[in-house]
Amino acid sequence: MVPPQRHSFVADPGMFTVEEAKKLAATIGVQERRVLPPPYCASDLCIAAAEGLMQQLDWDPATVEVLVFVSQDADYVLPATACIMQHRLGLPTSAAAFDVPLGCSGYVYGLWIAAKLLGGSSAKRALVLCGDNPTRHLHPEDRATLPLFGDAGSATALEVDASAPSIPVVIGTDGAGAPHIFVKAGGKRHCLIPPVGTAGRIADEEEAAQLERDSRLTLNGAEVFSFTLRAVPPLLREVMEHAGTDVDGIDRFVLHQANAFMLEHLRKRIKAPADRFVIDMQGFGNTSSASIPLAICHSMGGLLAAGPVKTLMAGFGVGWSWGAMVAELGPMPEPQVVDLPEGYPVLAV
C-alpha cells in the first residue's frame, strides 16, 4: 500500500540541476517517491493493506491470533500502535499484538518472530504489518536523503502448514553502527518538548532550531556502504548454506531496496544473475521496512501466483541490524501494489 502522492526530483529538480537530477536518478535507481501527507501515518497504510489482504484470502479477522507491527514510526508514544490496529481490524482480544521498532531489517525479523510464535503456540494465523514514513524526517534541502526515501506500508499473512518446508533464518546486530543512520530527537533521551509540568514549550529560537535539526534523518553514506559490503555478502552466503543451496538454487533474490548502486554491487559480489536479482525501487524510493514486500508485490506478482518461488530475502541497515531467510513463496493470490484510497479513515484513538 502506497500513498497516491508522487514526488519526482527529476521532473522538479529543485536543489539540483536537470543534469544532476538525471545522473542521480540513474545512480540510486529512483525516479519518483511516494510521500504520505499528514494526518496519515504508516499504520494507516498497513491497516488498509491488511484489510485488502484478509478480504482477498477470505480470512475471518477472528481467526488471526498474532499481529506484528514492524515500524520505526509509531503513532503515539504509548500505547503500542499494534494494540490500536488489533481493534481497528477486528482481531480477537485473545490475539497477541505488539510493535517491533526496526527499519531496514524489519521485514525479515517480523516474519521470523511471527513464524516462531505460530510454531510455539496454538495460534494458526498471523499478520505481519511493515511500514514506515521516513519522509517526515527529511529536510527539503538535504541532497543526500530527500531524493531517496519514500513512504509505504505492507501486510503479509502467515498460516500454519505442517507439510511446509523449514525456513532458515540468519540474523545479527551491531550497535556500533547506530550513529550512521540516525534521528536524534523524539525519544526520551532527546525530547522534542520539555518534560510534563515545565512552563513553555521551547526556550528560544536557537533551541527551536536545534530541535528541528535533531529531528532530521542523518545518513552517513560512506559508512553505510562500507557496512553493507562488509556484512551482507557473508550473510547471503550463510543463509544459502543453511538452506542447503547456492546462487543457482535461488529463483529470486529480494534484498532491502536501499539504492540501486548498492544493490548492484551486492549482486556482483555474490555473482547472482541480473534477471533473478530484484532491483525495483524506481517508482517508490527506499521505503525502509516495507521495501522487501513492496518489491515482491511489484516485480513478482505473476510468479507468485504460479509458485512456488524459492526466494532469498535479506534486510540490512539502520542499527546496524540485519537478517536473511530463504523461503518458498506461493502459489498464492497475485499480490498487488495499491494506492491508499482517497478519504481513507485515519487510524486514531
Task: Tell me the percentage of the chain whose pLDDT exceeds 90.
Answer: 82
Of residues 7 and 141, more confidently modeled: 7
**Alpha-carbon Rg for the chain in angstroms:** 20
Residue 348, amino acid: A
| 202 pLDDT above the threshold of 80 | no
Tell me if the bond preceding 3 is cis, omega within 30° of 0: no
| 200 pLDDT above the threshold of 60 | no
- Cell numbers for 347: 487510524
pLDDT bracket for residue 207 (50, 70, 90): confident
All domains of the chain in start order, with CATH: 6-159 (3.40.47.10)
- The three-point CA angle 75-77-80 to 5° equals 65
Strands 152-159 and 125-132: antiparallel
In the beta sheet, which residues pair with residue 66? 96, 126
CA distance 96 to 68: 8
Rounded to an integer, the average pLDDT of 289-302 is: 97
- At 20-52, the pLDDT tens digits run 999 999 999 999 999 999 999 999 999 999 999
Residue 237: per-residue pLDDT: 99
Q: Say what the alpha-carbon torsion angle 119, 121, 127, 128 is, to the nearest 10 degrees.
A: -60
**Mean pLDDT in the chain?**
94
